[in-house]
Structure 1
């Protein structure tokens, strides 16, 4: 008979306490970062009488969604009292084409700069990379002049162009570093079979690009939807995005400050990006770890 198998060592008491301590620290940090969101939610579903007479952290005695309706359709944002609704749809009209076009062009750029290198391609990539880290305030004046020359200043089309151009360096960086990890043999084999530039891209490279496409879509959507600087500088009276509308609503003076309406408006403005990360957050992480920031 063989020697009896050694029994598994008992778990260490110190390790158990370390785990408890780790969980306590993580829960504490989570509570700290989620506390503002909790305050926003509970304040938005309270009446003003309850807000004045109760605690900031107390749960509402009766749930009231009237603040959301007012924030959406009747709250004043300066002289206009149509709520956040027109600003919200302006943001949708800006975000959708800017995200799709900048992601598509970034994919083509990354494909060219990683698999079809030409003389000066590294210099061109370095110049594009400079655009990722360049302060946005630097381009405000020259971009205003360009939009004026094109005749699209203070319009939705102008904001689309601005976000497209500013997002292109980032999407190019993501795609270029992702495609650099793809085997060159795939491209060479397709070229030997007579496949063209676009056929290789659409039939071979693009089907392998789902993780990085999701990363770029989420990244661009978040950046453009949450942008305030370009929205306040390059927009006109009828093209202001939701971030500018939220700022105007919160800063509009009235006889009574309605904190529930302000909090409801903030939740409406932040809801799209929150939903994107809740629904597709795991794909964002997978895309990054699949090579989006490697190079």
Structure 2
């Protein structure tokens, strides 16, 4: 009996596999190097920053820059740190994410299963709005918000984020619900279930992975936003990104690089934590239909 020829060992280091490893390691170094520089610089004193190498480890851990960045870093004449911007970002982001994801889920569900009149036209117009640059809408929105007494208010900036987030969230949920077997919807209709009962008891529980994906997309986009917050939030509701910009660009004497780096990490810490904690759900939601359709 002739032995069955075996293919190459999948664990063997072929030239292609070695090239793949080199590419992956290079990508990891490329994306983690800025974080390494920011982290090590934030833990150094200014004397050590001026005398040492940019990639060198701190001789001893100094968290004073983090304390300054959080509570007493200067933005012009105000020295209050980024803590107020953090809570402003929370007050803006959380309701914006909840409202836009809920409305987007309802829109995607309606456009997937309910043959409404002009539904395709409405979806096309909604998607068209997603590709128009923000700058085109700024002046009309400013005038509209001013007429409604919402300009430079917390409800106003929340409404703006909801409006700009609806097209993407609707697209995600529409594609997800389109992958659900239509027989499930028809069976519920035969049993007498209506629009909201089918949505609340059948479709929404099935869409938990997509809820996570849409929430992550919305959360990171709104938390990292600069332009809309600068235009619509108002002085009392400036988000963390704008306060970070004000801290970095404030020049009164010497520039404190350790404080700037600490403030930058503090601003990016919440989105990074969300990605790390919900990565499994994010990948599952993408695989279950985020890019279908």
Q: How far apart, in 2, do the equivalents of 1:133 and 1:74 lie?
A: 40
SS in 1 for 2:115: coil
Q: How far apart, in 2, do the equivalents of 1:17 and 1:152 lie?
A: 61
Partner of 1:279: 277
Q: How far apart, in 1, do the equivalents of 2:260 and 2:38 lie?
A: 9
Displacement of 1:11 after TM fit? Answer: 4.0
> Which stretch of structure 1 is more off in the superposition, 24-33 or 50-59?
24-33
Partner of 1:75: 73
Deviations 1:265-289 (A, max 9, x none): 0000000111111111232122112
Q: How far apart, in 1, do the equivalents of 2:265 and 2:11 lie?
A: 44
Displacement of 1:4 after TM fit? Answer: 5.7
- The answer on 1:251 being equivalent to 2:242 is no
Of the candidates 187, 192, 198, which is equivalent to residue 190 of structure 2?
192
- The answer on 1:114 being equivalent to 2:76 is no
Partner of 1:137: 135
SS in 1 for 2:177: helix
Structure 1 pair 294/9, CA: closer, same or farther in 2 (3 Å)? Answer: closer
Q: How far apart, in 2, do the equivalents of 1:165 and 1:275 lie?
A: 26
Deviations 1:76-127 (A, max 9, x none): 1122111001111000000000000000000000111110121100000001
Structure 1 pair 13/108, CA: closer, same or farther in 2 (3 Å)? Answer: closer
Displacement of 1:8 after TM fit? Answer: 3.5
Count how many residue pairs are aligned between Structure 1 and Structure 2: 293
Partner of 1:212: 210
Displacement of 1:164 after TM fit? Answer: 0.6
Counterparts in 2 of 1:5-24, with a 5 A limit? 5-6=3-4, 8=6, 11=9, 16-24=14-22
The answer for unaligned runs of 5 or more in structure 1 is none
Q: How far apart, in 1, do the equivalents of 2:65 and 2:84 lie?
A: 17
Q: How far apart, in 2, do the equivalents of 1:176 and 1:13 lie?
A: 41
Displacement of 1:33 after TM fit? Answer: 1.7
Q: How far apart, in 2, do the equivalents of 1:74 and 1:224 lie?
A: 25
Displacement of 1:149 after TM fit? Answer: 1.2
Q: How far apart, in 1, do the equivalents of 2:106 and 2:11 lie?
A: 55
Q: How far apart, in 1, do the equivalents of 2:6 and 2:120 lie?
A: 56
Q: How far apart, in 2, do the equivalents of 1:294 and 1:9 lie?
A: 34
Partner of 2:153: 155
| Structure-2-length-normalised TM-score | 0.96
SS in 1 for 2:14: helix
Q: How far apart, in 2, do the equivalents of 1:157 and 1:117 lie?
A: 33
Deviations 1:200-238 (A, max 9, x none): 111111111011111100000010000001011112221
The answer for unaligned runs of 5 or more in structure 2 is none
- The answer on 1:181 being equivalent to 2:179 is yes
Q: How far apart, in 1, do the equivalents of 2:106 and 2:134 lie?
A: 24
Q: How far apart, in 2, do the equivalents of 1:119 and 1:152 lie?
A: 33
Q: How far apart, in 2, do the equivalents of 1:6 and 1:181 lie?
A: 42
Partner of 1:170: 168
